[in-house]
């Protein structure tokens, strides 16, 4: 009875925790001072590195050099491998020379899409103090003592590694045995002399860094104990960007797009966590982690990808470059003016130093270089880029039917309706509540006849119930994550007592994928797609609401090594399940909350549990811009905010903003008032309906953007500097953005605003370029402008869903520049053409061009229309319309 009482009290405590998720408690999440390895790395001061290059160990091949590094303070040796890679990219790896056990490295083919293709490195100079290598048009200078690497693009230094001397590599070691206490000497004076002598002897000995520091072999955070059987194993190094004043990337943070200095704050943290109602404009960790960073100035764009899945912190400082040093290694830097520099310091709890240096030189070049490493966003199915209607929770089948009917009654198009955790049988995923959803197939088919889809949530925590076949199957196959002692790990989440499949194991991922077969997921149909939530993973009674660091994964790997990969693998396995159930014929749609580099290949991401407040609408712009810069282009923020009850004006403005963001979904917490768009007052409902309809007219344009992103890694939603890289005014601008290079969007994010100042870059626009212009924007308007010289395809028929638009005609909006010219994907040299983008040649369509709207031309121009009939079936009837700007 006592045990039952304890368990019941624990269960009630966890329920209380679940109920109290409506405000972030910073005490639940570590600061740098509460993290031993973060404190150790951050306490280092810039200066000469203790590491030197041992030139007698140098090995040179056509595309790689390998050499040992010696820590002159500890006599520990590391090995440096420097590779030249195709596409103006280099790789720097530093590992232990002879580790006691292999250090964790992410398997090739998971995050990296394959082994990077190597490129010749030419030895240009091998002097007494350095070796200079040539990589395409760049130079790489490796200095011997102290060790550092500098990358020179053209005549400018752009990236420096270990220039601040902050390389720190905590090697595996055996735990020292506890020494017995020495007996006190009879003569106190003699004892003091002995202590002094021993102290001097110890000073002379060379020992590993921080050998005597507390917390190396175990740490405690709040009531959570973290044993470290392998001792400290963190790695860190500084990366500087000489000549740059702005750096970007490293999502996910509710922060400005241009990253801020961390001189007076904690470093930016990358550690996937479930953070409720997250705070804005601070560097604390959120749901996902992409350790990629870009530096941009008027001359070039460069970046690095830090290939490490452990908890990572990044410090950022704005300094000045050491021009004297650069003048010594090459006659490159001219003039006496100071050169700006951004210094960054990266440190992870475990793993190896594995840095990819992408040398651009332009924004689209670095995106392509990064996509060559981790892949691009897969082309989404068309319905996925339309409007999604979601809530925690639609109560039952009648509720779904009524929402669907009301959307039609009010002529509001939508493509997908979603079900949250309450649709299941007691939070058992892959099941249905038999009372609320007795005929799930009929329900799904009821919306599918209108061309619509449904999405259900499938989270990775499994209810520990021996009558739940998904759990028992995984348990019997020994597929669960293990605790530090080797037992099945138990934690608490929505179902109560839960266990987690070990997605680090490829066999477990295959097993999970098989659960989406129609025979396994009863009540599912081809029109049902999936949402992975809580996959950081979220563990209500765990340290920082997640796994313990010593949780055991596949191959004996600790969670501290792979934590940021867990959600990545959940989404990957789910996407593979959608492919598997359709014999690889159905493009997946999977939404995930947790993510890592490479997650773009498996579906969409949203920014998590935001609030229905103006400040969260405003921060969605820089958050989504940063995700796009990090390759996560299919991303969005919950329209209206997940928590709280936004007023009608905020809802209206949020729908307008969401309609011009890549992933467009309305969502709300179970305790909020119902806020489907048809429930708004008529004036607001009409404005929201128009915003949603406008999204549908632009679907051909959105689809084209995603196609280009899939092919080349380009951003979909971009900061202005991507298209206007020489315009310094845009470098920190994150309240307006471009879709492709054609549409400029400036959402209204301030309460009561009826206008806004819009910055128009460039010189060939109808609005005066390179300056701000005040634009009227009453409640029924969102400032969106098409660039002069561009062509945007639209479909203007009002339909209930995107699939019903499949055969509708195109209207091409052709905005001429000041030279009277425009170009686009369908238009070149005054010739309108259509060709099949499907390499197999199977695709065909009945779509046709109904209208050309030419803006900015005073008279009817001469336009030739042609079709490539052998490639693609396209029927054209064109009506030319002219308009003035």
Catalytic positions, written as ranges: 533, 609
Judge contact between 342 and 244, C-beta under 8 A: yes
Pull the structure tokens for residue 543. Answer: 């340290």
Task: For helices 682-697 and 648-658, give the axis angle rounded to 10 degrees.
Answer: 10
Helix (H) or strand (E) holding 350: none
Pull the structure tokens for residue 564. Answer: 């940021």
d(CA 535, CA 461): 8
Question: What are the strands, taking DSSP E only, across 127-234?
Answer: 130-135, 138-143, 148-153, 156-161, 168-169, 218-221, 224-227
Backbone angles phi, psi at 654, to 5 degrees: -70, -40
Pick from 728, 730, 731, 651: which is nearest to 692 by CA?
Answer: 651
d(CA 307, CA 105): 8
Partners of 852 in the beta sheet? Answer: 812, 880
Backbone angles phi, psi at 641, to 5 degrees: 85, 140
d(CA 743, CA 758): 13
d(CA 717, CA 706): 10
Partners of 491 in the beta sheet? Answer: 498
Task: For helices 566-581 and 506-514, give the axis angle rounded to 10 degrees.
Answer: 40
3-state secondary structure 6-29: HHHHHHHHHHHHHHCCCCCCHHHC
d(CA 390, CA 404): 11
Judge contact between 213 and 207, C-beta under 8 A: no
3-state secondary structure of 188: helix
Q: What is the dihedral of CA 312, 317, 323, 329, to 10 degrees?
A: 0
d(CA 711, CA 633): 13
Characterise 427 by phi-psi region: left (phi > 0), alpha (psi -120 to 50), beta (else): left
Judge contact between 310 and 561, C-beta under 8 A: yes
Pick from 739, 744, 734, 740: which is nearest to 769 by CA?
Answer: 744
Side-chain-side CA neighbours of residue 38 (13 Å): 19
d(CA 11, CA 22): 19
- Give, in order, the Cα–Cα distances in Å from 697 to each of 558, 567, 835: 49, 34, 22
């Amino acid at each position: 009875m006592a045990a039952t009482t304890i368990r019941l009290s624990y269960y009630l405590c966890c329920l209380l925790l679940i109920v109290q998720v409506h405000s972030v408690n910073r005490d639940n999440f570590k600061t740098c001072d509460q993290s031993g390895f973060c404190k150790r790395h951050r306490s280092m001061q810039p200066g000469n590195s203790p590491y030197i290059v041992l030139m007698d160990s140098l090995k040179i091949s056509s595309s790689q050099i390998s050499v040992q590094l010696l820590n002159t303070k500890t006599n520990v040796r590391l090995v440096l491998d420097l590779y030249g890679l195709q596409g103006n990219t280099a790789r720097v790896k530093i590992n232990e020379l002879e580790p006691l056990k292999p250090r964790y490295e992410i398997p090739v083919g998971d995050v990296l899409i394959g082994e990077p293709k190597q490129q010749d490195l030419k030895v240009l100079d091998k002097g007494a103090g350095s070796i200079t290598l040539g990589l395409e048009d760049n130079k790489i200078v490796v200095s011997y003592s102290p060790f550092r690497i500098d990358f020179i693009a053209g005549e400018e230094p752009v990236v420096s590694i270990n220039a601040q001397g902050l390389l720190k590599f905590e090697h595996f070691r055996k735990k020292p045995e506890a020494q017995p206490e020495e007996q006190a000497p009879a003569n106190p004076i003699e004892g003091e002399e002995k202590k002094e002598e021993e102290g001097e002897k110890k000073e002379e000995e060379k020992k590993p860094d921080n050998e005597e520091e507390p917390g190396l072999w175990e740490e405690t955070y709040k009531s959570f104990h973290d044993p470290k059987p392998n001792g400290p194993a963190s790695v860190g190094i500084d990366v500087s960007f000489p000549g740059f004043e702005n750096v970007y990337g490293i999502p996910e943070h509710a922060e400005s797009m241009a990253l801020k200095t961390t001189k007076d704050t904690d470093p930016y943290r990358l550690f996937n966590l479930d953070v409720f109602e997250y705070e804005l404009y601070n560097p604390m960790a959120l749901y996902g982690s992409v350790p990629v960073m870009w530096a941009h100035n008027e001359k070039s764009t460069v970046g690095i990808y830090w290939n490490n899945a452990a908890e990572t912190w990044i410090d950022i400082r704005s300094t000045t470059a050491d021009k004297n040093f650069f003048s010594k290694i090459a006659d490159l830097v001219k003039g006496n003016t100071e050169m700006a520099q951004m210094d960054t310091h990266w440190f992870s709890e475990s793993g190896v130093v594995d840095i990819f240096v992408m040398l651009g030189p332009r924004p689209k070049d670095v995106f392509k270089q990064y996509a060559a490493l981790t892949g691009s966003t897969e082309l989404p199915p068309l319905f996925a880029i339309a409007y999604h209607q979601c809530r925690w929770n639609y109560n039952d089948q009648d509720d779904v039917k009524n929402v669907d009917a009301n959307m039609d009654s009010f002529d509001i198009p939508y493509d997908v309706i979603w079900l949250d955790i309450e649709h299941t049988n007691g939070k058992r995923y892959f099941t249905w509540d038999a009372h609320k959803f007795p005929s799930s197939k009929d329900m799904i088919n009821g919306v599918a006849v209108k061309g619509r889809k449904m999405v259900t949530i499938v989270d990775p925590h499994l209810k520990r119930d021996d009558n739940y076949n998904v759990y028992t199957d995984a348990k019997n196959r020994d597929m669960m994550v293990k605790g530090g002692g080797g037992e099945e790990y138990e934690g608490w989440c929505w179902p109560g007592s839960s266990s987690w499949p070990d997605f680090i194991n490829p066999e477990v991922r295959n097993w999970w994928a098989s659960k989406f077969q129609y025979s396994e997921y009863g009540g599912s149909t081809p029109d049902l797609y999936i949402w992975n939530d809580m996959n950081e993973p979220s563990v209500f009674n765990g340290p920082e609401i997640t796994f313990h660091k010593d949780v055991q994964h596949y191959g004996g790997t600790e969670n501290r090594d792979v934590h940021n990969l867990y959600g990545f693998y959940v989404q990957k396995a789910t996407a593979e399940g959608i492919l598997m159930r359709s014999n690889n014929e159905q493009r997946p749609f999977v939404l995930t909350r947790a993510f890592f580099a490479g997650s773009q290949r498996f579906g969409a991401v949203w920014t998590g549990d935001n609030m229905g407040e103006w400040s969260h609408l405003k921060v969605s712009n820089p958050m989504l811009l940063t995700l796009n810069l990090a390759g996560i282009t299919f991303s969005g923020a919950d329209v209206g905010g997940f928590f709280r009850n936004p007023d009608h004006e905020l809802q209206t403005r949020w729908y307008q903003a969401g309609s011009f963001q890549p992933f467009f979904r309305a969502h709300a917490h179970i305790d909020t008032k119902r806020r489907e768009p048809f429930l708004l007052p008529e004036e607001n409902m009409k404005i929201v309906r128009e915003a949603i309809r406008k999204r549908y007219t632009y679907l051909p344009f959105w689809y084209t953007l995603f196609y280009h992103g899939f092919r080349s890694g380009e951003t979909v939603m971009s900061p202005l500097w991507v298209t206007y890289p020489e315009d310094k005014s845009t470098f920190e601008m994150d309240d307006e953005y471009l879709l492709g290079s054609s549409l400029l969007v400036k959402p209204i994010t301030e309460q009561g605003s009826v206008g806004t100042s819009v910055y128009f870059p460039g010189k060939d626009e109808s609005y005066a370029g390179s300056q701000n212009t005040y634009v009227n924007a009453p409640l029924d308007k969102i400032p969106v402008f098409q660039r002069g010289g561009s062509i945007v395809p639209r479909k203007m028929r009002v339909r209930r869903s995107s699939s019903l638009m499949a055969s509708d005609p195109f209207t091409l909006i052709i905005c001429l520049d000041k030279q009277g010219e425009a170009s686009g994907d369908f238009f070149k040299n005054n010739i309108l053409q259509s060709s099949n983008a499907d390499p197999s040649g199977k695709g065909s369509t009945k779509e046709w061009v109904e209208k050309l709207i030419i803006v900015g031309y005073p008279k009817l121009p001469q336009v030739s229309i042609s079709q490539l009939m052998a490639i693609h079936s396209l029927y054209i009837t064109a009506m030319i319309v002219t308009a003035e700007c």
